C-alpha cells in the first residue's frame, strides 16, 4: 500500500493551490520563500516573519523538507549528513569547507572561502564501479526533486547555525553544488533538471551556473539530453581509465557506452557550451597508476578542453584495493603535465567522516559484511 505524504513547502505548484484556496495575498508567498531560501530556516519556530495562524495552517498542509537527519559526522573540513527519506531509504550528503589558509585568522576566526555541498541523486547506485562502496548497495530508487533540494536547504540551515556571518552581515550558505554523492544523476535526468531550475532561480537558491557540477559515469544519452536542453553547467566525467579494456574492468557501465563514442559525445557538449570538461581519474595501486596509462591519458585528452583530476583511492575494508603511493601519483601527474594538460591531485576531503570519494554508504556496507 502506497503511503501519501504531504507536499513540501517549496513545492510551488501545491503551495499556490493552497494559497488560492485560503485566499493568501501574493506577498505572503514571497515571505514563505524568503524564509526558506534567504533566511535559511528549516523549522517552523525560526520563521518569525510568518504569523502564528499562517504557520499553523501551513504546518497542517505541508512538510518543510522531504528528508530528516538521522546522523551527522563533523570533521574539521567536512560534515557528513545521513538522511532518511519519507519512504524509509537512507541517503548521504557531504559539506566541504574550503579555508583560505589555516595560518591566517581574523578576529580569532579562520577565513572561510567557500562551501561546497556534495549531494545524492539516487538511493544506492546501479553503476557498480569496483572502487565505490555505494555501488555495493545496489540501486533502490531515484530521488525526487524535493528530496534533492531538501539536501541543500538542510545544509544551508546547518551552516547558518554553525558559522559566523560574512563581513557584509549576510548568512553564509552553500555556493557550490556537486552531483557527486550517491547515484548516477543522468539516470535520474528529469528530477535532476527540475532541481537545477530551483538552484539557478534568482529568488530561490540563486546559484551560479559555473558553481554547479554534474558528475557522470558517461551516460551518453544523458549527455546528449543536456545538449538538447541547453543545460549549461559544469560537467565532470568519471573516466578512471584511458582505454576500453581497463575501463570495462573498473566500470561495468563502460561496456554499454564505449569510450570512443563517449569522447565524441563529450566533444559535442564542449562545442555546444564551450565549457571545460573535468575528467576524474582514480589512482589505484598497480591498476590505474602505471606510467604507460599516463601516456595513454595524454593521447586521449591532448587537444581537448580538459582538466584532469587525479583522485587518490580512499581505502576501506569493504573493497580489496589499495591507494597509490604518493610518489607514484606525483610521477603520473608529471608525465601528463609535461604535455601541457592541466592536472590536479585532488584533496581527499571527508576521509575522517567516511565521506570521501567512493565512501558514501560505508557504514551500511561494513555492517552487512559483518552480518
User: Which residues form the catalytic set?
Assistant: 92, 357
Give the angle 260-241-266 at the CA atoms, nearest 5°: 40
β pairing state of 112-118 and 90-99: antiparallel
Q: How far is CA 125 from CA 91, 134, 139, 239, in A?
A: 11, 6, 4, 17
β pairing state of 105-106 and 109-110: antiparallel
Residue 216: helix, strand or coil by DSSP? strand
Residue 120 has a CB neighbour count (10 Å cut-off) of 28
Contacts of 260 (CB under 8 A, 6+ apart): 244
Helices (H), the chain: 12-21, 26-33, 52-61, 145-162, 189-200, 220-228, 244-250, 259-273, 291-301, 326-337, 362-370
Amino acid at each position: 500500500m502506497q503511503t501519501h505524504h504531504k507536499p513540501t513547502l517549496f513545492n510551488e505548484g501545491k503551495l499556490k493551490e493552497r494559497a488560492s484556496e485560503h485566499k493568501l495575498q501574493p506577498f505572503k508567498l514571497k515571505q514563505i520563500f524568503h524564509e526558506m531560501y534567504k533566511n535559511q530556516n528549516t523549522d517552523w519556530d525560526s520563521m518569525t516573519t510568518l504569523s502564528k495562524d499562517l504557520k499553523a495552517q501551513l504546518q497542517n498542509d505541508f512538510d518543510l523538507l522531504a528528508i530528516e537527519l538521522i546522523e551527522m559526522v563533523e570533521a574539521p573540513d567536512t560534515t557528513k549528513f545521513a538522511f532518511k527519506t519519507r519512504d524509509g531509504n537512507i541517503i548521504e550528503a557531504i559539506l566541504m569547507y574550503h579555508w583560505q589558509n589555516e595560518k591566517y585568522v581574523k578576529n580569532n576566526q579562520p577565513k572561510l572561502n567557500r562551501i561546497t555541498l556534495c549531494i545524492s541523486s539516487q538511493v544506492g547506485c546501479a553503476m557498480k564501479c569496483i572502487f565505490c562502496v555505494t555501488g555495493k548497495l545496489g540501486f533502490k530508487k531515484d530521488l525526487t526533486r524535493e528530496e534533492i533540494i531538501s539536501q541543500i536547504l538542510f545544509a544551508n540551515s546547518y551552516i547558518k547555525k554553525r558559522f559566523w556571518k560574512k563581513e557584509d552581515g549576510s548568512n553564509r550558505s552553500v555556493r557550490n553544488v556537486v552531483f557527486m554523492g550517491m547515484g548516477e544523476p543522468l539516470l535520474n535526468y528529469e528530477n535532476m533538471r527540475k532541481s537545477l531550475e530551483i538552484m539557478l532561480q534568482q529568488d530561490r537558491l540563486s546559484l551560479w551556473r559555473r558553481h554547479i557540477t554534474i558528475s557522470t559515469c558517461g551516460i551518453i544519452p544523458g549527455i546528449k539530453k543536456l545538449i538538447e536542453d541547453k543545460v549549461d553547467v559544469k560537467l565532470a566525467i568519471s573516466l578512471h581509465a584511458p582505454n576500453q579494456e581497463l575501463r570495462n574492468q573498473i566500470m561495468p557501465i563502460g561496456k554499454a557506452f564505449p569510450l570512443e563514442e563517449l569522447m565524441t559525445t563529450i566533444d559535442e557538449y564542449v562545442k555546444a557550451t564551450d565549457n571545460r570538461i573535468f575528467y576524474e581519474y582514480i589512482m589505484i595501486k598497480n591498476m590505474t597508476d602505471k606510467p604507460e596509462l599516463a601516456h595513454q591519458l595524454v593521447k586521449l585528452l591532448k587537444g581537448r578542453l580538459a582538466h584532469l583530476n587525479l583522485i587518490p583511492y580512499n581505502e576501506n575494508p569493504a573493497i580489496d584495493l589499495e591507494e597509490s603511493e604518493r610518489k607514484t601519483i606525483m610521477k603520473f601527474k608529471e608525465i601528463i603535465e609535461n604535455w601541457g594538460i592541466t592536472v590536479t591531485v585532488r584533496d581527499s576531503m571527508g576521509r575522517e567522516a567516511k565521506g570521501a570519494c567512493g565512501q558514501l554508504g560505508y557504514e551500511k556496507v561494513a555492517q552487512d559484511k559483518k552480518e
